[in-house]
A and B are shown apart, each in its own frame.
Chain A
């Protein structure tokens, strides 16, 4: 435990994990212990508390239909949760339901955990839930996987951005999907290398994703996108576990994400001035919503 844990890149994280013979989650936990001086138990409990909030948010939208502030999404988590799937594995269908449930909870100003953001808050909890059902995981396994997600997320946040206003939706949903892919890969017994590859595969598949929320609400396309990307995260993990790696190494994928985000025009970066927001249907929402400026 005396090794100094510092990482600026995914390559650093991987090298540390291989050198210490532990997972990415353990390296990230040790990093947090060194940074804060807090005990392992205290930090793990703080993470477990976040998992509890995530579980409550997943349940909220399954119990009853939730409607977002803007009235653009309503009861999708509930609908999917009650549905008998015809194509998907039932656990995956329930994973998709839980992702929407969390985002609908968030859209209604309910309580969630940003992971890394609120707009992308459904992906990590639902993927963790899906993997834990499949693997019969313990809460300790889930907490460890959350440290994997956090370690990968820190590198992406520091070397690119997690602000949709700076980098488009790939900075939020893309990063979140990469975090979740790595997390569930380690849960399923993936090696540190496979964890980094799962992340790279997921992020690579999210490059260029724009943030064009209809009416300025975090509802369309955000809620359903969380659902679809939670399944992608699990698929990326499965591909990495099968021995498939990313042709472009993870740190280069992150650099590409940064470059694309900087070049992306501002109408696609959380301004609701482009894309879906300015379609005829999108404009109708914008024209009828309450105005920002003024005295209430």
Chain B
């Protein structure tokens, strides 16, 4: 499947500079991770890999990720002063380095985020070029999320019937499943599912999914702007 599917992946995004991969991509990775967490983190550990680390401050990668974690868009003039904005909004953060190995794209970062209510998630995000991004790992589960489709994420008990109930609820709401991925670390324990749909998913559907027996966590990620 082609990675770039729209003319606006090539002519766009509208963004503040200086780099589409290292600034706009960084903002979008931050925004993406923030949605998975479910809001602005209390604390963020930002670990830069490869080219993200080497060119980091010159390309505003650190500022970009922080801006995204605060919910800013790629074209927000506030990206430039995101560290000050973080201080105002009470988000603390550290910037460090990580080596994710030679197979991981050079424009990648690992984010360890602590939510306001004390939960922690780990996310690995990659900037693939021209401001386009992918989330490749969440809490150690391999995923491939582009942000191009409204996405439902669930963490659920690895037992028969859960997936069927979730897709059933989406079908009732007229949401067609475009892509779907289920991952688990061990049989019968916990599974991690991502569903990318063709349509926005209404809040009632997300509530209904959260109530399905065996579902431990549900997140809804609208199309990434």
Contact = CB atoms under 8 A, between A and B. Distances in A.
Contacts of A271: 50-51, 54-55, 106
B207 interface: no
A119 B20 contact: yes
Main secondary structure of the interface of B (DSSP, over half): mixed
A218 B14 contact: no
B4 A154 contact: yes
Interface string A103-138: 101111111111111110100100000000000000
Contact of B17 (A47, A108, A291): A108
B107 interface: yes
Interface in A57-71: 68-70
B5 interface: yes
9 contacts: A31-B7, A70-B58, A109-B16, A113-B12, A119-B19, A149-B10, A162-B10, A219-B18, A273-B54
Interface of A: 8, 28-29, 31-32, 35-36, 43, 46-47, 49-50, 53, 68-70, 103, 105-119, 121, 124, 146-147, 149-151, 153-154, 157-158, 161-166, 171, 179, 213, 215-219, 266, 269-273, 289-296
Given A108-B17, A272-B58, A147 B7 contact: yes
A294 B24 CA distance: 22
Contact of B106 (A112, A117, A269): A269
Contacts of B24: 114, 118
A35 B10 CA distance: 15
A70 to B, nearest CB: 6
A147 B24 CA distance: 22
B202 interface: no
B95 A114 contact: no
A273 B55 CA distance: 9
Chain A CB count within 10 A is highest, among B18, B48, B53, B55, for B18
Interface of B: 2-24, 48, 50-51, 53-60, 62, 75, 77, 79-80, 83, 93-97, 105-107, 127-131
> Which 5 residue pairs are nearest across A and B when measured between Cβ atoms?
A106-B17, A216-B58, A163-B129, A150-B7, A216-B55
A216 B10 contact: no
B25 to A, nearest CB: 9
A178 to B, nearest CB: 12
A109 B18 contact: yes
Contacts of B23: 109, 118
B19 A117 contact: yes
A163 B55 CA distance: 14
B53 A292 contact: yes
Contacts of B10: 115-116, 149-150, 153-154, 157, 162, 179
A292 B56 contact: yes
Nearest to B25: A163
B54 A8 contact: no
Contacts of B77: 109-111
B131 to A, nearest CB: 5
B75 A111 contact: yes
Contacts of B53: 292-293
Contacts of B20: 114, 116-119, 121
Nearest to A153: B10
Contact of A292 (B14, B48, B83, B130): B48
A171 B129 contact: yes
Nearest to A158: B2
B6 A107 contact: no
A50 B58 contact: no
Nearest to A271: B54
B129 A292 contact: no
B54 A272 contact: yes
A10 B160 CA distance: 47
Contact of A269 (B15, B17, B51, B60): B51
Contacts of A289: 57-58
Contacts of B5: 35
A217 B18 contact: yes
Given A29-B7, A157-B10, A163-B21, 16 more contacts: A50-B11, A69-B18, A109-B80, A111-B14, A112-B16, A114-B12, A116-B20, A118-B17, A150-B11, A157-B3, A165-B106, A218-B59, A270-B55, A289-B57, A293-B95, A294-B95
Contacts of B106: 165-166, 266, 269-271
A124 B11 contact: yes
Contact of A293 (B16, B22, B79, B96): B96
